[in-house]
Amino acid sequence: MSSAISLNVGIARSASAGSADAADAKRVLLAEPRGYCAGVDRAVETVEKALEKHGAPVYVRKEIVHNRHVVETLRERGVIFVDETDEVPAGALLVFSAHGVSPAVHTAAAERDLRTIDATCPLVTKVHQEAKRFARDDFDILLIGHEGHEEVEGTAGEAPDHVQLVDGPGGVDGVTVRDENKVIWLSQTTLSVDETMETVRLLREKFPLLQDPPSDDICYATSNRQTAVKAMAPECDLVIVVGSRNSSNSVRLVEVALNAGARAAHLVDYAREVDTAWLDGVRTVGITSGASVPEILVEGVLELLAEHGFGNVQPVTTANETLVFALPRELRPARR
Ligand code: SF4
């Protein structure tokens, strides 16, 4: 691979640029950062360590992270995924997923005497704390997020009497509040940054005293992956995002790529889902992956592309991520 390309100087041609041939050559732009974030890494390791320490079966409420490959691999190792706590035998071990759960779910698990480990991402927990704090101060909380998403259900469940869901710019019209002096917006962690800012703009037109969250709710990983895609998309005839259809941040990467100028963009779980007809007439393919995607799946797509003449891979680096979260307390001594 060639060395990383700086966002500030644009995207360079291949190392042998200078000849017309080089300019016409097929190439891959590989977004960095991509793939696993700190919260997903922690959640997956939590389940792996729970299996090692307690043996199978380990129950997990909902998908631990929204990725088919991760879920199928863990299922093969003895994880049983359930939708609700009442599907778990009394006294069994249950892990809560990275997306977080409402207090009602904790209560239901306690009533069944379940042993629980909470793999909620600390950045989701931070949004829960904000919801609790502003509900205590009797604010109307406008939670920007996707209806039905597990994270939103968990956050809203912290303060159901104070939270209203606003599902994008189209959801603003129906919002009413009790006191326009006490309104704050919070958000799901995995939204499109640009679309969320548009929703906030519309909300603020309606409620000029709308308060911002104390810190960004859209997490560093979501926003970094979108920034990298924006940097490469204008150069791309095609962007392939590796990720699952129920992964909010992966789906957003497809939208961001198209909005930033990619001529086409597709979401695939596996290399085998790449339709080679997409490559017809294409010179530059951008590759990225959602925050719940193991790198091995990206490698599979790169191998497939190399077989079709796209062996020249150029990283497009817009940030370096070093954040690591400690495992849940119950598992910490087991960490290498
Ligand atoms: S995408 Fe962000 S909020 Fe979600 S698990 Fe990763 S770091 Fe946490």
Query: Residue-wise over 173-199: b if at least 16 C-beta within 10 A, else e?
Result: eebebeeeebbbbbbbbbbbbebbeeb
Q: Where are the extended beta strands (E) located within 182-237?
A: 183-187
DSSP, collapsed to helix, strand or coil, labels residue 302 as helix
Evaluate: CB of 154 within 6 angstroms of ligand 1: no
Q: According to the model, what pLDDT value does residue 332 have?
A: 81
The stretches in the chain having pLDDT less than 70 are 1-24, 333-336
CB of 229 closer than 8 Å to CB of 265: no
Determine whether the shortest distance from the Cβ of 116 to ligand 1 is under 6 A.
no
Pocket of ligand 1, candidates 65, 123, 188, 322: which has the most ligand atoms within 8 Å of its Cβ, to mutate? Answer: 123
Q: How far apart are CA 6 and CA 320, in angstroms?
A: 12
Cβ atoms of residues 32 and 260 within 8 Å: no
Tokens matching residue 82: 């359930």
Return d(Cα 163, Cα 142) in angstroms, integer. 6
CB neighbours of residue 111 within 10 Å: 11
Q: List strands edge to edge, sheet with 238-242.
A: 5-6, 313-317, 27-32, 284-289, 238-242, 265-268
Question: Under DSSP, is residue 325 helix (H, G, I), strand (E, B) or coil?
Answer: coil
Token reading at 67:
């990725």
Q: What is the pLDDT of residue 13?
A: 42
**pTM of whole model > 0.85?**
yes
pLDDT of residue 24: 60
Q: How far apart are CA 163 and CA 304, in angstroms?
A: 46
Please list the active-site residues: 151
Tokens representing residue 85 in the block:
């706590």
191 lines ligand 1 (CB under 6 A): no
pLDDT of amino acid 88: 98
